Structure 1
Amino acid sequence: MTHAGSDAVSYARHHGGKTAAESGDRIVWVKLSLAFLPLATPVSDAKVLTGRQKPLTEVAIIFAELQTRDGFTGVGFSYSKRAGGQGIYAHACELADALLGEDPNDISKIYTKLLWAGASVGRSGMAVQAISPFDIALWDMKARRAGLPLAKLFGAHRDSVQCYNTSGGFLHTPLDQVLKNVAISRDNGIGGIKIKVGQPDTAEDLRRLSAVRQALGDDFPLMVDANQQWDRETAIRMGRKMEAFNLVWIEEPLDAYDVEGHAALASALDTPIATGEMLTSFREHEQLILGHASDVVQPDAPRVGGITPFLQIMDLAARHGRKLAPHFAMEIHLHLAAAYPIEPWLEHFEWLNPLFNEQLELRDGRMWISDRPGLGFSLSEQARKWTVLTSETGQRP
């Protein structure tokens, strides 16, 4: 008796064809770059005001550029704030050789291979953040190869995603400037506003929130983000006081790994609870979702290891009826949010705009998918100028 695999080979050769393994394209060149994107103004959230972190002055970006024997290309990136950029880049350099010779269409296989290549440093955190730029670049390449925007490759539920702004409401920004930023965002077509809370003076949080709500009106979508700086008692007290502000959600009220506390808070409050941006693996998000710890899940593709694990998180979250609001990196998350079955939110940060030659379109409160294939971006000259380290492996065809 012949095996199915040998039957397929015999059939292909008898008819003058090749098997997929014989005819498949191969990755022949990998380039990694580490760039530091400077921020015009040092940024502070509650973690700074509570003394746990320093103001954010730059974002480390780790780019991966891939090319195949047949000339197809893909670009992906990961990032880190305040610390870890050098480490992510170094580990990515260790993994790069493992991509050479692989069929770029076998993304899950490659992901597993890279995960095992770095298994001694774990399956979360920096270990998977170093895989992210490769995984995202492979998905970008796959969609480019198909001539489709990435959202269409997944099977989009919509051509645009409702979009809210975060960058105008940080705690280092005086309230009068926050109010000006809110007005500018609305004029530019934003669909929602998020402001930071969680500072030691809770009365000041409420004062700023009240002023923003008054400026926006009662029904314009408004969110708050405490960046993990409340304990359980403060979170429930503040959550009850904030019920009157008709918020879309309260974000990261507690430590990111306090599943039990978030579940109790979500049960006690009418205002939805959102969290998950700091988690760095599918398994961590699984605990959050199965533990009923949030109403809105907020995965971050570069942080969880790329698009491959993000799709697993999406599937689990959808099966349990959770809303989706991916963290940061709107250039990637627009495509993923567009493919989510339940109406999601997209976070608007203009910080990464200088890195790319192309820009996203915001209008009518939503971010729109372009007709460009893949992610729809190419690296700018400015991104090259901010690059401090590069590494190449393989040969460009």
Structure 2
Amino acid sequence: MRNRTAAVGPHRSRLQDTAVNTTHSGPHAARRADDATPDRIRRIRVSSVRLPLDTPVSDAKVLTGRQRPMTEVALLFAEIETENGHEGIGFGYSKRAGGPGQLAHAREVAPELIGEDPSDIGRLWTKLVWAGASVGRSGLATQAIAAFDVALWDLKAKRAGLPLAKLLGAHRDSVRCYNTSGGFLHTPVEELLDNASASLANGIGGIKIKVGHPEHKEDLRRLTAVREELGDDVPLMADANQQWDRPTARRMGRALEDFGLVWLEEPLDAYDSEGHAALAASLDTPVATGEMLASVAEHWELIRAGAADVIQPDAPRIGGITQFLRLAALAEHQHLQLAPHFAMEIHLHLAAAYPYEPWVEHFDWLEPLFNEGLEIGDGRMHVPFRPGLGITLSEQARQWTREECEITDRP
């Protein structure tokens, strides 16, 4: 081993290098002097953060009685540190319920990562999902491991000294963005208009408002007011949050055609791929859906059925960035538009790496959790120059931490 390492130098011939590589091929071959230094995961911190919302939030699911107004968001953070001092941060989330379950599952499987090479992200995702496979390979189980997967990608990009989008292979340095957090159903029309105008003044490019009132004329009234206030050129989206049946979705879809919507979102139950496909075929307005699905396999059912013109995956919900990239490849193959749901701090990078011009959703809810903000202007959200995701946890996030644990031992 010493002799081989000593022999490698600037005066070796190409033939000599070839001979050395051929002689010492195989899994136990000696490393060249310029090989990357191996690294191992030595410490993981998992924490549960409860983010309070200033105002209880209602969408169509609240008006139909299926859910209570949302008062907080439960965040699951994973911070990973290696023997060589590299660090990565990732997060997932849940709304209304599931936060404690995600934390419990994450704590159980986290020891599987200790001692592992952090670059082996695909293999580690598989290892984690099989560690908890008795409770399934989608839903809460994969949402819990999403925080680890995101942290590993963040760490890998930081080691490379690149923003995550650049590591993945960016197609653009900024992404069209639209605001959702100002357009919920609990918001009076006057405030809705003020929120929309403020978003546009702050450089956001489009506005999404919620629909799904029991009285359908109220949806039309609100949309009419927004369109008249903003004009015909501002991109406008509408989101029914799965609360229409098929006949209602057909009637409302036809009624909304005149508004020139960028898309009509979740008009039907998230798992009704046939209904979405029939609706998409009957409307000029593009149909968007996918945010509530919890695996690549579930999204594939939508894609295969032709149920969406715009696919809206959520990386934390489907298991992290590794799974998102698999899904993005399927969506690209079908020439679908992409508009990831929520978590803009993650999805900005993933959308920037998608071949077709995407959208990213602006939510201001998570901004207090991070020391860094995202630059927005001229209707676009800009990929930060900082390595990795480009975020660090704020002191406020530490104050909102309900529970945390540190893992340093193998299982």
Task: Tell whether the structures are fold-level matches, with TM greater than 0.5.
Answer: yes
Which among 184, 193, 197 is matched to residue 179 of structure 1?
Answer: 193
Distance 2:133 2:34 in 1: 35
Q: In the alignment, does 2:252 pair up with 1:238?
A: yes
Contact 1:9–1:18 under 8 Å retained in 2: no
Partner of 1:114: 128
How far the C-alpha of 1:177 sits from its partner, in A, is: 0.4
Partner of 1:142: 156
How far the C-alpha of 1:247 sits from its partner, in A, is: 0.3
Partner of 1:228: 242
Partner of 1:197: 211
Partner of 1:67: 81
Question: Could you list the runs of 5+ residues in structure 1 that have no partner in the other structure?
Answer: none
Q: Deviations over 1:316-363 (max 9, x none)?
A: 000100000000000000000000000000000000000000000010
Q: Deviations over 1:151-197 (max 9, x none)?
A: 00001000000000001110000001000111111111110000000
Partner of 2:179: 165
- TM-score, structure 2 normalization: 0.92
Partner of 2:12: none
Distance 1:393 1:221 in 2: 46
Q: Secondary structure at the match of 2:142?
A: helix
For residues 289-328 of structure 1, what are the structure 2 equivalents within 5 Å? Answer: 289-328=303-342
Which among 137, 144, 149 is matched to residue 130 of structure 1?
Answer: 144
Distance 1:36 1:92 in 2: 16
For residues 339-358 of structure 1, what are the structure 2 equivalents within 5 Å? Answer: 339-358=353-372
How far the C-alpha of 1:19 sits from its partner, in A, is: 8.0
Distance 1:218 1:247 in 2: 10
Partner of 2:8: none
Distance 2:27 2:107 in 1: 36
Q: Which amino acid aligns with 2:124?
A: I
Q: In the alignment, does 2:39 pair up with 1:7?
A: no
Q: Deviations over 1:207-244 (max 9, x none)?
A: 00010011111121000000000000000000000000
Distance 2:218 2:33 in 1: 71
Partner of 1:286: 300
Counterparts in 2 of 1:290 and 1:372: CA distance versus 1, 3 Å: same
What percent of counterpart residues are identical? 66
Contact 1:247–1:271 under 8 Å retained in 2: yes
How many correspondences in the alignment?
388
Q: Secondary structure at the match of 2:162?
A: coil
Partner of 1:76: 90
Distance 2:260 2:221 in 1: 15
Q: Deviations over 1:237-267 (max 9, x none)?
A: 0000000000000000000000000000000
Distance 1:54 1:140 in 2: 34
The structure that has the greater radius of gyration is 2
Which among 257, 260, 273 is matched to residue 259 of structure 1?
Answer: 273
Counterparts in 2 of 1:346 and 1:263: CA distance versus 1, 3 Å: same
Which among 170, 185, 195 is matched to residue 156 of structure 1?
Answer: 170
How far the C-alpha of 1:370 sits from its partner, in A, is: 1.2
How far the C-alpha of 1:24 sits from its partner, in A, is: 1.7
How far the C-alpha of 1:7 sits from its partner, in A, is: 2.6
How far the C-alpha of 1:199 sits from its partner, in A, is: 1.6
Q: Which amino acid aligns with 1:344?
A: P
Counterparts in 2 of 1:132 and 1:10: CA distance versus 1, 3 Å: closer
Query: What's the RMSD between the two structures over aligned residues?
Result: 1.4
Q: Secondary structure at the match of 1:143?
A: helix
Q: In the alignment, does 2:38 pair up with 1:28?
A: no
Question: Could you list the runs of 5+ residues in structure 2 that have no partner in the other structure?
Answer: 1-21
Counterparts in 2 of 1:30 and 1:11: CA distance versus 1, 3 Å: closer
Distance 1:181 1:19 in 2: 53
Q: Which amino acid aligns with 1:307?
A: I
Contact 1:28–1:69 under 8 Å retained in 2: yes
Q: Secondary structure at the match of 2:25?
A: helix
Contact 1:12–1:18 under 8 Å retained in 2: no
Q: In the alignment, does 2:59 pair up with 1:45?
A: yes
Contact 1:189–1:362 under 8 Å retained in 2: yes
Q: Secondary structure at the match of 1:199?
A: coil
Q: Secondary structure at the match of 1:67?
A: strand
Q: Which amino acid aligns with 1:92?
A: A
Q: Deviations over 1:7-26 (max 9, x none)?
A: 3356526xx75987xx5200
Counterparts in 2 of 1:279 and 1:169: CA distance versus 1, 3 Å: same
Distance 2:220 2:34 in 1: 67
Q: Which amino acid aligns with 1:33?
A: S
Q: Secondary structure at the match of 2:46?
A: strand
Q: Secondary structure at the match of 1:253?
A: coil
Q: In the alignment, does 2:407 pair up with 1:393?
A: yes
